[in-house]
Amino acid sequence: MADERTVLELRGITKQFPGVLANDHVDFELRRGEVHALLGENGAGKSTLMNILYGLYQPDEGQILVKGEPVRFHSPKDAINRGIGMVHQHFMLIPVMTVAENIVLANEPTRAGLLLDTDAADRRVRELSRTFNFAIDPDARVESITVGQQQRVEILKALYRNADIVILDEPTAVLTPQEANELFEILKTLTREGMSVIFITHKLNEVLEIADRITVVRRGKRIDTVDRQGATEEGLARMMVGREVLLRVDKPASDPGDPMLTVDDLHVYDDRGLEAVRGVSFEVRGGEIVGIAGVDGNGQTELIDAITGLRKAASGRVSIAGRDVTGAAPGTVLDRGLGHIPEDRQRRGLVLEFSLAENVALHDYDRPPDSRWGWLFPRQLIRRARELLAQFDVRGGGPQTRASALSGGNQQKVVLAREIGREPSVLIAAQPTRGLDVGAIEFVHRRLVEARDNGKAVLLVSLELDEIISLSDRTLVFYEGEIVAEHGPDVSEDQLGIEMTGAGRQEAVA
Amino acid sequence: MSERASAPPPASDPNTVPSVAARLALYQRAGGVITPLLTALIAFLIGGLVVLATTGKDPIKTYKAIFKGTGLSWLSPVSIHWHLFYPASIHWTGWDTTSPTALNLQQTLIVVTPLILTGLAVAFAFRCGLFNIGGNGQYTVGAIVAVQFGIWFAGLPGPLHVIVAMLAATLAGAAWGGIAGFLKATTGAHEVITTIMLNWIALWVGSYLVGFNGPMQDPRAVSAPVTRPIADSAHLHVFWGNPLLQGLHIGFFIAVAMLFVYSILLNRTTLGYEVRAVGFNAEAARYGGISVGRNFFLAMAISGAFAGLAGSIDILGWEFNLDLTVVQTVQVGFIGIAVALLGRNSAIGIFFSALLFGALLTGTSTRNLDPSVFQPQLAGNLTRIIQGLVVLFVGADLLIIYLWQARKKLRLPQRKTAEQA
């Protein structure tokens, strides 16, 4: 399969972790000037493969060939020296330093071997920026530029170290649709200049937009490599999951009842003391799903924290099912009929070292039948967990299994079982499908719609616009702590994308 | 109890450096009962090498002499001389309660008693994600209050007086520990810092109270900085050995009972559930509606209660007064850290590691160690070396786990070839 255009080849890469075969004889081939997407669900082995390529892990078996030459990478340094650069999902930048300083970090041009040659660094960064058409100011501080620009800094960092193979790990996860489009433009420029790009993702639409070829991995094995021409979302999804998947949510029209969650002129400050939520008012009725769209960090987290009592609101009111819960402790708010599926299930949703039974009891452990007079009844916890786990189809363990032993999808099912199983009147779901594979996403979506059909008020916060659009009966757009737009069920992704960047509001101001 | 044997966790992300607490948690999970045994074994091995290198003495002989000094051999009704041939090799010794071995064992168990409790004081806080370095201060506060209450209420009937003094000391220890928990909950002050500070405060307040011209100093003992002795009614009952020769008092059973209390409290009560939830994942506990700050306070207070109880048991059981030297040189709170770490915070583990450290302390004491084999002055340092090595190896958990996994890896290919054959 290798031809003269091949710049990189992975042959039969195998990596075993305790209990998991993360990569099972994976072959991968990258050609000069192409964007090659590596598509797979979470845990399919994409990241392991790329970490091996970048020298972070050593493969148990298999060979890496760069430009036809077998190599062994013992550390990222070796990979960088061979012209491989990687842009991680979480940027490795120092916020207080300038763009140029960040780019030359660990590879600084020096004068007389000692002093940092700032001018030379600046010049080189400007040069690169011009060649590849990056609109970026080398003297700007990293903390003052947008996430999309920070990502460009990361790419520049790789180019500065003379990389001609760039690995991007889920690069669009942190970007707005517009920023993603800008990134795609940059990738096209890069490939025109003869660079090669490996694009790791689990998003089907992106793959079809940007990739020249697509390699699909599932459970550590390479399933196939296909050209973009002729590939379809359905076909790729089937390869990824190994079965037919419903990509769209089927749901009947909503039948909203009484308002269950009312938020009135809420102001909330964030950890840095800045006003993150600035006078937000809305209500969610029983039997409807209200989606909150917005770029990460526009006050969504603080809003949820204030509703759930995890953070004190500066002013305003929150009521659940007609009862004021403003300023109440999280436990009280939960008791008043709130279910909360937190943003990060491993950090906030579950106690990973607890058994599933103990996790399911996380709200109700302190009252009968789970306990009486401070005495816990472990058998009762197990009994109830067994019921709920069956109802929510949790696989991979029973009530006494530790939560950490489950896959991400099943962990999220445990959270759903706990939160929906208590029959709350309001359900808040924050990023409920983040990091889940296609099959688990389908399950979570179905359960949220089911909760809605049972008359619960569902507030959905998500960074995934397609999720917002396919689930929400109403959509609120958040920008800098304010609601800047409201839409019914039919709204386009582009429209939301524009409003999320504050475009609508800025026009109004101008 | 809370013992859960499990396989070592999968290799973690090499990019992240785990925090101290995370590393300790990893250690707690990994390798079941094997890692603590391995840890202790390696510590003894290196301790032996130090003996050999620095003094030129035979480490095996030294360890044998230490073991003899602990009195633990009394538990076996027969004495076996491995170097002799049958039938002379086995002697029936029975359980002679007046033998020197019996006296040694009584001493060992007297030392083990507070170590169990200070071990629990560290372990309980640890289960809430807190590192209680303040066992020493909590112990000291408990001892001071126990002495005072032992002197007061001299008219009370025996059992009642003991209960009053113990209860007061336990509450004082709880208050002392609770201060650190309260500060953590309200201001976020790190408990390691505050407990160390509180140790010093306890030490100097104690020194003032007990020292020359201090309010608690015995006015009759002009030449010695020591309190008056407690009333006879506050003495703990000695159930084994001669009360005049420091026989074993019932405090030992109180400590053992506390092991059960610890285990039940953690695993069968809502309080324990909350403490464990906060210890494993404070963020998730908060999202679940549990008050993290309240649990920080309660966990530190309960930890302090264990240590305060330890202080009262030593006073009421065999010290009967409080000496300035004791206030300034007491170490049981710190040894409790090693006890809890080696015992992996489980009740059974704490019992055995307290036994190990208690035995080491008595086995190397001047009184019990045969000076012709090894100078007891040096042997006391050997105890500290082993204690330090245990803490060091617990800190170097990754090394132990690595060795443990390497052993599995070595076995893996063999199994493969067996399958192929």
What's the confidence (pLDDT) of residue B254?
Answer: 96
| CB pair distance less than 8 Å for B287 and A358 | no
What's the confidence (pLDDT) of residue A508?
Answer: 46
What's the confidence (pLDDT) of residue A380?
Answer: 92
CA distances from A33 to A6, A85, A175, B146 (A): 10, 15, 24, 81
- Measured in angstroms, the CA of B131 and the nearest CA of chain A are apart by 19
- Measured in angstroms, the CA of A213 and the nearest CA of chain B are apart by 30
Radius of gyration of chain B (CA): 23
Tell me the per-residue pLDDT of A59-79, one tens digit each, with 9 for 90 and over: 999 999 998 889 999 888 889
Cα–Cα distance measured from residue B183 to residue A273, given in angstroms and rounded to the nearest whole number: 23
* Chain A residues in contact with chain B using a Cβ-Cβ cutoff of 8 Å: 17-20, 56-57, 308, 310, 329-335, 340, 342, 347-354, 358, 361-363, 365-366, 371, 374-376, 378, 402, 404
- Measured in angstroms, the CA of B105 and the nearest CA of chain A are apart by 38
Given a cut of 60, whether residue A155 has pLDDT beyond it is yes
Given a cut of 80, whether residue B99 has pLDDT beyond it is no
What's the confidence (pLDDT) of residue B126?
Answer: 92
Given a cut of 70, whether residue A2 has pLDDT beyond it is no
| CB pair distance less than 8 Å for A350 and B272 | no
With left for phi above 0 and alpha for psi between -120 and 50, is residue A247 left, alpha or beta? alpha
Given a cut of 70, whether residue B286 has pLDDT beyond it is yes
**Least CA distance to B7: which residue of chain A?**
A18
- Phi/psi for B269 (5° steps) reads -125, 160
What's the confidence (pLDDT) of residue B420?
Answer: 40
Which residues in chain A have Cβ-Cβ distances shorter than 8 Å to B277?
351, 354, 358, 362
Choose the closest CB to A374 out of B14, B29, B269. B269
Radius of gyration of chain A (CA): 25
- Measured in angstroms, the CA of A49 and the nearest CA of chain B are apart by 14
Work out how many CB contacts closer than 8 A connect A with B.
91
**How many DSSP H helices and E strands does chain A contain?**
17, 24
- Measured in angstroms, the CA of A371 and the nearest CA of chain B are apart by 7
Are the C-beta atoms of residues B140 and B207 closer than 8 Å to each other? no
Are the C-beta atoms of residues B27 and B6 closer than 8 Å to each other? no
**Least CA distance to A21: which residue of chain B?**
B10
Query: By the CB < 8 Å criterion, does B11 face chain A?
Result: yes
Tell me the per-residue pLDDT of A280-297, one tens digit each, with 9 for 90 and over: 999 999 999 999 998 888
What's the confidence (pLDDT) of residue A509?
Answer: 43
| Range from A402-411, B68-77, B101-110, B331-340 carrying the lowest mean pLDDT | B68-77
With left for phi above 0 and alpha for psi between -120 and 50, is residue A162 left, alpha or beta? left
**Least CA distance to A76: which residue of chain B?**
B15
Cα–Cα distance measured from residue B345 to residue B267, given in angstroms and rounded to the nearest whole number: 13
pLDDT bracket for residue B408 (50, 70, 90): low
Tell me the per-residue pLDDT of A161-180, one tens digit each, with 9 for 90 and over: 888 899 998 888 777 778 88
pLDDT bracket for residue B5 (50, 70, 90): very low
ipTM here: 0.76
Tell me the per-residue pLDDT of A193-235, one tens digit each, with 9 for 90 and over: 889 999 998 788 888 889 999 999 988 889 999 998 888 888 8
| CB pair distance less than 8 Å for B10 and A18 | yes
What's the confidence (pLDDT) of residue B113?
Answer: 96
